[in-house]
Amino acid sequence: MNDERDQSETRVVEAGRRKEWTQGIVNTPIYRASTILFDSVAAMRAAGAGQVGTLHYGRSGTPTQWSLAEALTELEPGAAGTRLFPSGLAAIGCALLSVLKPGDQLLMVHSAYGPTRNLCDTLLKRHQIDTVYYDPLIGAGIEGLIGPDTRAIFMESPGSLTFEVQDVPAICAVAGRRGITTLLDNTWATPLLFPAIAAGVDLAILACTKYIVGHSDVMLGSVTAAQNHWQTLEQTSRSLGQHVSPDDAFLAARGLRTLSVRLRQHERSALAVAHWLADHSKVARVLHPALPSCLGHESWARDFRGSSGLFSIELASGDDDDVAALIDGLAHFGIGYSWGGFESLALPVDLARLRSLDRPHPGPMLRLHIGLESVEDLIADLARGLDRYG
Ligand SMILES: Cc1ncc(COP(=O)(O)O)c(C=O)c1O
């Protein structure tokens, strides 16, 4: 397992840096463009309709975006190509639209990112696409939910906020047999910790905003497709005019080059904090995929090459005001949405507002992103916070 992680760490550094794109510069430069000038009408015609590698029009990208997209493809063994999007949510939306049509049914994991659920409950519904939510722990039992109109299964593993790890290979095996497309939001693990296409996923989605960018300063998403889904994904994203700025692509590529070392440190520090919290008397449960207290931990242990820096905790007692007091006084954790940057963040979790059918979580919850600060400082900060609380 570790050997495979080591190999992908080399790819993280080398992938997408084609000489014809970099011109020998280490990082593919920022090529900004809308109009591309041709020498003649014949040359313009010969440039085709915007294939990767041929300059055509700004919306078809320049070496800056091609390089990032190719690097993300190379991180997913077996993948055919990657399309970039202006946010993770835009990537999710386009991936779904590339697969679904009116009258279809979508099986959506219950623990999906809130705005993904919102997309299903509003836009997809308006287009007569029916969403059925399923339990993240369903595994091969997903077969029982498949009906004549089921066209796609969407997974997010681990799930948002509650971190249930799904049996992705089992679900993909059923879907493959039944001719149903599988999509996975793989943002928490990235292809370094879970190569999704090799596990049987058809469309692997990343909110690059998080760990790929890694510095909390760019919004960006990607969808990497297996061969049989590449053409439709490419056509759909082109038809919708999806495009990312070369400046953002450059920053994402720059972030990508250090992804493996950042992830190793996020992993080490988050595990140290998670184990410390698990032993604390005021903490009822730690929802971290690498800890047995997390639902689906066995799937994580079997399928993943490591863990990242985001997890939740459930407190033994208290209410929303107590959680606010705990978080408000933290010196080293910012209060804000998103995660995956170099800095630590804390967020109160309100499942009641987000989901309809959850397992009961009796105590109040908060989500932590463990950044690259000293782990001793982070633990001392949380210790003071827990002393203030309750
Ligand atoms: C798991 C997951 N997927 C997708 C997204 C959406 O990404 P973006 O914020 O880039 O739209 C997020 C954002 O928090 C997320 O946590």
Q: Helix 2-14 and helix 63-74: axis angle, to 10°?
A: 170
Average of per-residue pLDDT across 178-195 = 98
pLDDT band at 352 (very low <50, low <70, confident <90, very high): confident
Q: How far apart are CA 106 and CA 112, in angstroms?
A: 13
Average of per-residue pLDDT across 151-170 = 98
Q: How many CB atoms lie within 10 A of CB 367?
A: 19
pLDDT in tens, 335-351: 999 999 999 999 999 87
CA 264–ligand 1 middle distance (angstroms): 21
Question: Residue 1: its pLDDT value, please?
Answer: 47
- Residue 295: half-sphere exposure toward Cβ, Cα within 13 Å: 19
Atom of ligand 1 nearest to the CA of 156: 1
Tokens 């010196």 locate to: 331
Best of 338, 367, 368, 369 to mutate for ligand 1, by most ligand atoms within 8 A of CB? 338
SS3 277: helix
Average of per-residue pLDDT across 21-42 = 97
pLDDT in tens, 102-146: 999 999 999 999 999 999 999 999 999 999 999 999 999 999 999
Please tell me the pTM assigned to this model: 0.97
Question: Which residues are part of the catalytic machinery?
Answer: 59, 113, 185, 210
Q: What is the DSSP secondary structure assignment for residue 55, as one 8-state letter?
A: -
Atom of ligand 1 nearest to the CA of 220: 10
Interacting residues of 79 by C-beta distance below 8 A, sequence separation 6+:
73, 197, 204, 224, 225, 226
**Does the Cβ of 308 fall within 6 Å of ligand 1?**
no
Question: Residue 175: its pLDDT value, please?
Answer: 98
Among 52-56, 354-358, 376-380, the range scoring the smallest mean pLDDT is 354-358
The percentage of the chain sitting over the pLDDT mark of 70, rounded to a whole number, equals 97
CA 185–ligand 1 middle distance (angstroms): 9
E strand spans, the chain? 79-85, 105-109, 130-134, 150-156, 181-185, 203-207, 221-226, 283-287, 310-315, 334-335, 345-349, 365-369
**Does the Cβ of 207 fall within 6 Å of ligand 1?**
yes
